[in-house]
Amino acid sequence: MSLNSLGIIGCGSMGEEISTFINSGKIQNAELSCVFDQDETRLQQFSKKISKKILLTSSIEEFLSIEKINLVVECASPAAVTKYGELILKSNKNFLAMSSGAFNDPKLLKFLEKIAKQKSLKILIPSGAIGGIDAIKSIQNQIEKVSITTTKHPRSLAGAPGFQNFENTVFDKAKVIFNGTAQDAIEMFPANVNVSTTLSLAAIGTKKTQVKIICDPKSKENKHEICIIGPFGKLNFSMNLKPNERNPKTSSLAIYSVIQTIQQFCNPNISLGT
């Protein structure tokens, strides 16, 4: 089986963890060739932590010019997916988008899918912090109602546009700070609720998926409660996930799901558990 050459966009905490895992050799048939980040300072800091010599660049042109890269892994932000998705696919590279919130705009996903189909490429969207995605997809055409309630500590929500009015609030108990659609949720909390867009893509879309966000000062975990209703009955999923130590806005499960997606891409003939 041929070796897959990978490129990563973003060298923040998530990009660093995924880069380290790839360099550890734990993913068969995979090597990391290049990391792109438009922040030069962050690249310099990253260069001191990465164990193997790989190309680090702040030039997207240089990054995409590396012909041997056949999978680009985005670990930056929804804005990076919007800005670079088309360029990645047109440079004949498969694209793994960790920030699924970018696909809150269905036109973007359809546009990128069209390019990918023309070039026989793949767009990969990992399950992130959601369990049961396969079950949800299997009943997609029968779903009548979808809702997700996300509970996080204030520090996990800090900095989000939708949290601006609460930045100086001292929370003494749990409080609902958002109640609306997934489409609005990802715009107000772009680094926090990619999970709602991933759920929407597997179910009935961002406009029909209801999202509630609860800020709880006593919460030690990122909690997601999903309810799906249809003629089949009712499905309930509940996940209590430890926040990533370096980036509390996301769960470590989100990073693990990216790693698993990379493993499956690089080793499509290897079954789970082998």
> In this structure, is the dihedral angle defined by the CA atoms of residues 133, 103, 210 and 146, taken in order, positive or negative?
negative
Spatial distance between the Cα atoms of 91 and 60, rounded to a whole number of angstroms: 11
Residues near 177 by Cβ (< 8 Å), separated by ≥ 6? 157, 162, 163, 166, 213, 214, 215
Alpha helices in 130-212 (DSSP H): 133-138, 154-157, 182-188, 194-202
Q: Which residue has the tokens 């989000």?
A: 160
Structure tokens belonging to residue 245: 């130590």
- CA angle (75, 211, 82) in 5-degree steps: 30
| Residues 56/47, Cβ–Cβ less than 8 Å | yes
Q: Which of 93, 152, 153, 224 is catalytic?
A: 224
224 is catalytic: yes
> Pairing mode, if any, of strands 94-97 and 123-124?
parallel
Per-residue H/E/C for 217-233: CCCCCEEEEEEEEECCE
* DSSP conformation letters of 67-106: TTEEEEEE-S-HHHHHHHHHHHHHTT-EEEES-GGGGGSH
Residues annotated catalytic, as ranges: 224
